[in-house]
Amino acid sequence: MKKSITAVILVLLLFVITLPSCNDIDDGSTVSIPENSNVFSIPSEDGTVGDLVIIDSDGNSVNVETSLNTETGLIDINLPALTQGDSFTIQKSGQADTYVAVTSADNTSPQLISGNIANGAQDVEVNLPVDLSFSKVMDGSSINGTTVVLKEIKYNRTVPVRFIYNYDRIIVIPRMKLQQNLEYKLAVNGIKDITGQLLSFEVNYKNRDLDYGLYFFGKYGECEKYFPGIQNAFYNDSKPTMIYAHGWQANAVTKSDYYGRSFYGYEQFFWEEDDFKGQTKYNGLRQFTNHSWIDKGWNTGFVYWQQFADEPALAQGNVGGVHDAEAKIWSFQGYKGSRYRVVDSSGSAYYKNWDCRLNFNGDVVTVDSVGRLLSLYVNNALKNNVSGNIRFVGHSLGNQVVNNLMKYAFDAGITVNRIALLDPAWTSGDKNYLPNDGYGKWVGERCRNFIFESKNRNSNLAVEIYHTTGMNIGIAGLAVDTNDALTNAAADFNAAPWYYSSTQLDGKHNSIRNSYIWSFEFQPPAEVTISWWKRSATGKMGPSASTPDWRMREMMGPKYEWTQVEGRYTPSPSDDQWERKSKDTSWFSLW
């Protein structure tokens, strides 16, 4: 009597099967197992063998040896030697994705039958996973960093990758930001099917010249771009989530990144500084700032729009660069449309116009702004988050990005619990690219109204605003909206990064994005009051990323503001103290 094998296909960070585009595992697919073979492997969801059992056709448990291969994430099962027609049922954790196994050996060589990236392909989406399907079931234990290698051809650098193993299908996921307009080679050399037949081939391709979207970061800069339908190794729906947005990125495409790749400047959760003119002893700082978030169980996401934000710097005689980058957050019909900056083969930077269309989740979508573009990724990623703890953080112009993301999130039924605006920038004046929809024609006014509306949707929303010396006095040559109505309704803090000199306004402005994220590592700082040169601790917490939401809400409103009085000469937030000061009591709460 023919017996069936019911295999549980479970999810592990290294081996996940979540793509709706793949053939369902429970469709009764026939898997060939060679006669007299006694090793069978299945993926493990939780990284353990757990309660796995083998049942014969009579319902009896079969005693077998099982072991977890920590390199591949597969559970290896030592079955009794199989003969023609034998079969077993494999059960684990009460779940089952079913397929039927037979023992007739198939000694034909495996073939690559399809892939989402053709050999020689151009204009491939940056960080797109390589999805490969085969004519036979492959041996999962043969798929590793030696047999499947992704390389940057220009730098001859091996890219760290993760594999999704799905029997006759493999997905290769890059675990670092790949560079736009660069050539890559996926070399597959000596993977085996379950009969031991070998397969080798290459896929050469070139990335498109534009990248954007949501990346989730692990430690030491390792990251995965978010794609709908693919379980991201650095994101879990059960965990609280912090999403960060960068600001203006003048000349980013002409700089080098953390890995030394030229013409590829971008921010990440990393503080690197060799020019603390205020306190030179701290030069050489190298600090990954998101590690404590991960250690405390958080997802850490980063939305990128750097090529759209790369508009000329003030030093290049173009004050309008800030205006031009800002406009794209709200509309691709603004001052410079949807243009983005790229570098040609000679290293010269120039601008191209984007058609505002992208393939997203199986559909061709047209977007009208950076805010709308990034919200596609953020909303899709967070739609099933059950943590009840979502925080958006935006630096400089990035505050306008996260304000848009928060509105789109609430519109989609996603609750945001906290928003941090780090040295927020808003240019003043009516903008003809903004709609007449009641939210206002000034960008600062719109952000304020988005926050007020969000506060009405979630009365527990915590709003914190941090200033540094630079943005408090404005941007040279620009009329800056101080947005007093919002500042006096939020929790209002004045940081003092005196480890930069008085002339290093850029350094001070950028310091807050690093120190805020890093501050999550430490206990909340002390709040103090100062009277007649006497400093007194109030027993309450001052502001930081680790300050609880309830305390941040307590600090909101027009009554007080806080100024940093300790830790001003050290980049580390570990020694900070903040003085509470009374504000003009003529202000009233806008909540």
**Rounded Cα distance, 487 and 120, in Å:** 53
Residue 289's pLDDT band (cuts 50, 70, 90): very high
Range among 16-20, 91-95, 464-468 rated most confident? 464-468
Mean pLDDT within 485-507: 96
- Weakest mean pLDDT among 280-284, 474-478, 507-511, 534-538: 474-478
- Weakest mean pLDDT among 4-8, 122-126, 199-203: 4-8
Residue 478's pLDDT band (cuts 50, 70, 90): low
pLDDT at 5: 25
Residue 1's pLDDT band (cuts 50, 70, 90): very low
Q: Is the pLDDT of residue 479 over 80?
A: no
pLDDT at 171: 96
30 - beta bridge partners?
A: 100
Residue 63's pLDDT band (cuts 50, 70, 90): confident
| Residue 234: other Cβ atoms inside 10 A | 21
Tens digits of per-residue pLDDT, 88-114? 667 766 654 434 444 445 678 899 999
Chain length of the chain: 591
**Residue ranges of domains in the chain:** 29-102, 112-207, 213-582
Q: Specify the fold of 112-207.
A: Immunoglobulin-like (2.60.40)
Q: Is the pLDDT of residue 337 over 70?
A: yes
Distance of CA 550 to the CA centre of its chain: 26
- What is the residue-averaged pLDDT of the chain? 87
**Rounded Cα distance, 515 and 525, in Å:** 13
Range among 132-146, 340-354, 553-567 rated most confident? 553-567
Q: Is the pLDDT of residue 162 over 50?
A: yes
Core vs surface per residue 252-291: b (16+ CB within 10 A) or e: bbbeebbeebebbbbbbbbbebeebebbeeeeeeebbbbb
- Weakest mean pLDDT among 210-214, 258-262, 363-367: 258-262
Q: Is the pLDDT of residue 19 over 80?
A: no
Look up the pTM and report it. 0.87
Angle separating helix axes 443-457 and 320-330, nearest 10 degrees: 40
Mean pLDDT within 119-126: 98
The CATH label, of 1.10.3470, 1.10.150, 1.10.10, 3.40.50, for the domain at 213-582 is 3.40.50
pLDDT at 347: 87
Residue 37's pLDDT band (cuts 50, 70, 90): low
**Rounded Cα distance, 408 and 402, in Å:** 10
Tens digits of per-residue pLDDT, 182-239? 999 999 999 999 888 999 999 999 999 999 999 999 999 999 999 999 999 999 999 9
In sequence order, the 6+-apart residues with CB closer than 8 A to the CB of 410 are 416, 453, 454, 457, 458
Q: Do 112-207 and 213-582 show the same overall fold?
A: no
Mean pLDDT within 569-577: 98
Residue 51's pLDDT band (cuts 50, 70, 90): confident
Amino acid at 436: N
Mean pLDDT within 144-153: 97
Residue 15's pLDDT band (cuts 50, 70, 90): very low
pLDDT at 315: 56
pLDDT at 47: 67
86 in helix, strand or coil?
coil
